[in-house]
Structure formats: C-alpha cells, structure tokens
Amino acid sequence: MSSPLLEAHDLHKTYRLGQVDVPVLKGCSLAVSRGEWLAVLGSSGSGKSTLLHLLGGLDRPDSGRGEIRHEGQPLEGRSARAFDRYRAQTVGFVFQFYHLLPELTVLENAMLPGLVPGGIGAAPARRRVSNLLDRFGLSHRLNHRPRELSGGERQRTAIARALANDPQILLADEPTGNLDAHTGAEILDLLAEAHQSGLTIVMVTHDQQIADRADRDCRLVDGVLSVAEGTEPAPLA
C-alpha cells in the first residue's frame, strides 16, 4: 500500500494562558490518503481548528511532541523555502470565519495566495481564480467588496482563495458553519465537485450530517482522535 499523503503522529498542543497550561491536543494521530475526503468531528472547543492549523503549517505542535508528514517527509526540519511551498502550494486553507480582507475586492482576495512566498505568482493566480470564481457563479462579483456579499458568496470566495495555488490538499474549517442549510449544502456540493476532480480534503465540523458527505470520519475527543478500526496510521519507524 502506498504511504498516506498526509499524516499526523502523536500531536500535542498546549496553549499557555498566563500561568496556566491548557492542553488541547494530547496525542492526535491521523492518516489521509491521496484523493480522500476525511471529516474530523468534535464539539466546540475540542481542538478542531487547532488541529487543522497544525496540519496546514500555520502553527506548530509543542516542541518535540508529535510530527506531521507529507508524502512521508516530516514538515519539521524543512528549509524555509520548502516550508513556504508546503503552506502555499501543497495545502489550501478555508478558515472558520472567512477571513476575507474588507478593503480588497473578491478577485483581489481570492488571488492573494498567489502573491505570498511559495505562491504561483500574480498572473497565474489571477487566471486561475477568475476561472474558479466564474465556475462558482461569482463572475459578476469580481470587483465587489466582501461586505457587499452574502454569506454563501463570501464562503465561495474563500474557497476560490484556498484553491488559488492549485493545492493538493484542502483544509476546510467548518466550511458551512455560518450558513443556512440550503447555502451550506451548495458549498458542500462545490467541495464534492473539487473532490471528484482529485482534491484531497480534510474538513472539520461539529455536525454529523455534514461529516456524512465525506468518505470517512473520525472524532476528536479529549485531545485524541478516534479512528475507525483498521485505518490507524502505521507506527513511526
């Protein structure tokens, strides 16, 4: 069997609030295969966003306590350039609360990842997101600001932005969390379409019905992921 595309082994993450340590992840392990759509379920405050941020390289696990591997290679220890490339081109991130920049237009917001270190550059990103925004039904909104958009339109813009650099893996944090059921279903249809075209997706949600759209789900409880039998990642060599 080929090795998983993305793996987490025994991740620990503790936040420090003043003098108090708040352990959130206490030995989280998971493995995502190429082309798979995995849902991570968990109640509010269970650490879903924390886990997704670690997988996306937006934050790091506690020092020496756990490891993330992409295509079998640890993220830790990569050169700054390789790490930038991972964050910009390997993964695309859909944040829990859109995080669109209010002063930028829809097109400018969506093409931003093309401009960051490791991104594909302004012109290719513009071409790619123009195409995506068109497919997402937003071609008439390119020059609008986020405040002029509905929740669903904002989320479609955020998904186009996450796909700007044509990533291998989409990390989606409650992608329908702020939307009504109908609009949420439309967003999930859009993710399903991207998944059909080969995109690997890790999606976190508190809602079992939403998780049911994924190929497989696992649950984050007390800082640990429970995975269905037979799908645990192999122990570290």
User: Would you tell me which residues interact with ligand ATP (CB under 6 A)?
Assistant: 15, 17, 22, 24, 42, 44-50, 96, 206
Beta bridge partners of residue 74, listed in sequence order = 69
Residue 50 binding: pick among ligand ATP, Mg ion, none (C-beta 5-8 Å cut-off by kind): ligand ATP
For the record, the structure tokens of 178 come out as 């702020």
Closer residue to Mg ion, CB minimum distance, 120 or 171: 171
Contact region for Mg ion (CB under 5 A) — 21-29, 75-83, 94-102, 124-132? Answer: 94-102
* Minimum CB–partner distance for residue 94 and ligand ATP (Å): 13
Residue 148 identity (one-letter amino acid): E
Select from Mg ion, ligand ATP, none the partner in contact with residue 176, using the beta carbon and a kind-dependent cut-off of 5 to 8 Å: none
The continuous run of DSSP H or E covering 110 comes out as helix 106-111
* Closer CB to ligand ATP, 1 or 22, in the complex: 22
Give the length of the chain: 237
Containing H/E element for 226? Answer: strand 224-226
Answer yes or no: are the C-beta atoms of 200 and 170 closer than 8 Å.
yes
Angle among Cα 184, 182, 139 to the nearest 5 degrees reads: 70
Cβ closest to ligand ATP, residue 22 vs residue 237: 22
Query: Does the protein bind Mg ion through residue 49 (CB under 5 A)?
Result: yes
24 binds, among Mg ion, ligand ATP, none (CB under 5 to 8 A by kind): ligand ATP
3-state secondary structure of 6: strand
Q: Which residues contact Mg ion by CB under 5 A? A: 48-49, 96
